[in-house]
Copies of this chain bind each other. A is one copy, B any other.
Amino acid sequence: MCLCDCCGCAEIYREGGEEKQKQKHPFHICCCFVLCCRPPKLREISWLLFVFFSSDIEISRAQSPKAVDVLAKEIGLLTDEIEIYGQTKAKVRLSLLERLKDQPDGKYVLVAGITPTPLGEGKSTVTIGLVQALTAHLNINSFACLRQPSQGPTFGVKGGAAGGGYAQVIPMEEFNLHLTGDIHAITAANNLLAAAIDARILHENTQSDKALYNRLVPVVNGVRGFSAIQLARLRRLGINKTDPGTLTEEEVSKFSRLDIDPSTITWQRVVDTNDRFLRKITIGQANTEKEFVRQAQFDIAVASEIMAILALTTSLQDMKERLGKMVVANDKKGEPVTAEDLGVTGALAVLMKDAIKPTLMQTLEGTPVFVHAGPFANIAHGNSSVLADKIALKLVGEKGFVVTEGGFGADIGMEKFFNIKCRASGLVPSVVVLVATVRALKMHGGGPNVTAGAPLKKEYTEENLQLAADGCCNLQKQIQIAQLFGVPVVVALNVFKTDSAAEVDLVCKIAKQSGAFDAVPCNHWSAGGRGAVKLAQAVEKAARQKTSFKYLYSLQLPIVEKIRIIAQKVYGAQDIELSPAAQSQVDRYTRQGFGNLPICMAKTHLSLSHQPERKGVPTGFILPISDVRASIGAGFIYPLVGTMSTMPGLPTRPCFYDIDLDPITEQVKGLF
């Protein structure tokens, strides 16, 4: 009797959907949860108490993770292909890709969702429940590839992102805190570049060409020479000289001055903290900066373009090139100024040299997980890394499964997964798992507001078939969006204890009528992988279908045309409307040669439209594009739909009120 099969005492049970099976007691437990050796009756009672009164972190702690080197060996990694970080985490070297390059890829599954409530619908738990079911219960190799959570939400409102209940990554406190330092590395790299921009403007403003040049190319031990990155800049400027003494006055000036127009700076500083007072600031007010003040802002670290690069890069060489290409501002002639122009490419690559390696962890049932990169899906492209997926697809082998997650609703996370991430990787997805909850569907059907922190209204805790049926319009629309890309959809209905059997049946029926390959109720939160076995079977079957994957738009189309296609086909907008500022940016980027990039929409996740309060399937709206930005290193154009905040804030009572550390046992409390 076991949830995780660790001691061979497993006994299959099913729950949800079919009544006769719901009568069977679903909770069993084995030695891995410590309670196994007690007498059967006492054991069941203990277990019930444990399930109902345990927090996510208590469940996480009740299961001892296997040593990460043991896990690495199990999945076929060689000793010199991992770098261990403590007992439960390891970085995996990219050399693996070279060793396994002739191995065929496994099946590639994306977990997406319907338009969510602010409480989230459980995509992470479905992702983890699904791999637990595949590997621990159906003996099929699988890997979950997840995003690293930002510390902002962990200490703010939302809490961590390790999954929950019996579908978790463990140890969840490692997952939710510093992990292996990737977000810190991104912060350091991002802010070094930001400091370099302002310092350079100051130095250019306060020095003559000659003084600047003498400082940029100093005499060291009697010798004067350009550094490698300066020689590269000379070549870009068309100055084919290598001896610093031979430059003409004009060439000295051209080389020494980036001539950045401060009003065009798009590179912002970042912190991985919900610090609302940094949303708009004035910098440079100390006397030492000689009155070169300007307005600036801090974004949350995961919104950094460097995070997007980490998620989309395919090798160290590619990452270094992308870092160099990042455009931070325009010069006074309107030409782009890059990180490479500032001489900082190498330093950024050095700061990111370990972050590029995915981090290996495990689920509660001991199956492997990669955690790598964590852009938000509303203000960034919202998907974990290409490299982790690529490595995992090799490791699971041809018959195995890699399950990854696109942030928020399918209109955002999935659309960007297909059009941006799959384009960067060249990988072809096999199946979309679309996560729905009766709760969110009722909201789309006209139910009252759902607010984080406030108790749920009775519409959500009592049976209401009409609301659920009405809300299925959103589910249907999201299924149709996935079908635009030619990929089969399996709906995973994440069942809560307040959902009635009739509601569950109804939603699954409508989902299938709406074009889903299958629709399956899931109970992974309370039952782990066992509760997602039917989902795993449906996904396995769907993956055997022939797919005809296609992108939604051609890169060759004009920027505005690409935005319009997403707005109309995905969001259901009547049309788009660009502000004059947005139009002028589009013109600028097109002129600068960046018109052929894919589009990364920054849009609310709470509605298919730009208006969070419009639930269900809004129609007849004109999507306002207030501004357009470009992430040239990451490789996308970034239109802003209305106002999007890139820095969350702390509420009156942040999560940290409940977080504590026991100084004797060293155990963390209150993370969830």
A residues touching B (Cβ–Cβ < 8 Å)? Answer: 83-87, 91, 151, 155, 173, 177-178, 181, 184-185, 187-188, 191-192, 194-196, 198-199, 202-203, 207, 212, 215-219, 222, 227-230, 269, 271-286, 288-289, 292, 295, 297, 315-317, 319-320, 343-347, 349-351, 353-354, 453, 455, 645, 649-654, 656-661, 663-664, 666, 668-671
Contacts and interface: CB of A to CB of B under 8 A. Distances in A.
B669 A346 contact: yes
B177 A351 contact: yes
A191 to B, nearest CB: 5
Nearest to A226: B657
A668 to B, nearest CB: 5
A467 to B, nearest CB: 23
A344 to B, nearest CB: 5
B227 A658 contact: yes
Contact of A666 (B228, B269, B316, B343): B316
Contacts of A273: 188, 191-192, 194-195
Contact of A276 (B177, B198, B217): B198
14 contacts: A84-B84, A86-B91, A184-B184, A184-B187, A191-B273, A199-B276, A277-B283, A286-B297, A345-B660, A346-B656, A346-B670, A350-B661, A353-B661, A353-B666
Given A83-B86, A276-B286, A350-B659, A192 B155 contact: yes
Contact of A653 (B83, B215, B281, B666): B215
Given A216-B652, A346-B661, A350-B659, A188 B196 contact: no
Nearest to A668: B350
Nearest to A315: B663
Contacts of A654: 196, 199
A184 B191 contact: no
A63 to B, nearest CB: 19
Given A188-B273, A286-B280, A347 B656 contact: yes
A539 B210 CA distance: 51
A414 B608 CA distance: 64
A661 B178 contact: no
Nearest to A80: B87
Contacts of A319: 663
Given A216-B652, A228-B660, 6 more contacts: A229-B657, A269-B271, A277-B284, A343-B656, A349-B661, A349-B663
A280 to B, nearest CB: 4
Find the residue from A274, A278, A346 having the highest chain B CB count within 10 A: A278
A661 B353 CA distance: 8
Given A227-B657, A279-B286, A651 B353 contact: no
A315 B666 CA distance: 11
Contacts of A222: 455
Nearest to A352: B661
Nearest to A270: B271
A178 B351 CA distance: 8
A235 B472 CA distance: 51
Contacts of A316: 661, 663, 666
A658 B231 CA distance: 12
A650 B277 contact: no
Contact of A659 (B91, B195, B215, B346): B346
Contact of A188 (B178, B349, B657, B660): B178
B289 A215 contact: no
Nearest to A173: B350
B281 A285 contact: yes
A215 B652 contact: yes
Contact of A277 (B195, B219, B645): B195
A95 to B, nearest CB: 9
Contacts of A198: 275-277
A129 to B, nearest CB: 23
A362 to B, nearest CB: 17
A288 B320 contact: no
Contact of A283 (B184, B202, B281, B344): B281
A196 B650 contact: yes
A408 to B, nearest CB: 22
Contact of A668 (B86, B177, B353): B353
A185 B178 contact: yes
B657 A230 contact: yes
A72 to B, nearest CB: 13
Contacts of A659: 346-347, 350
Contacts of A274: 195, 199
A650 B288 CA distance: 12
Given A188-B184, A229-B657, A656-B343, A275 B195 contact: yes
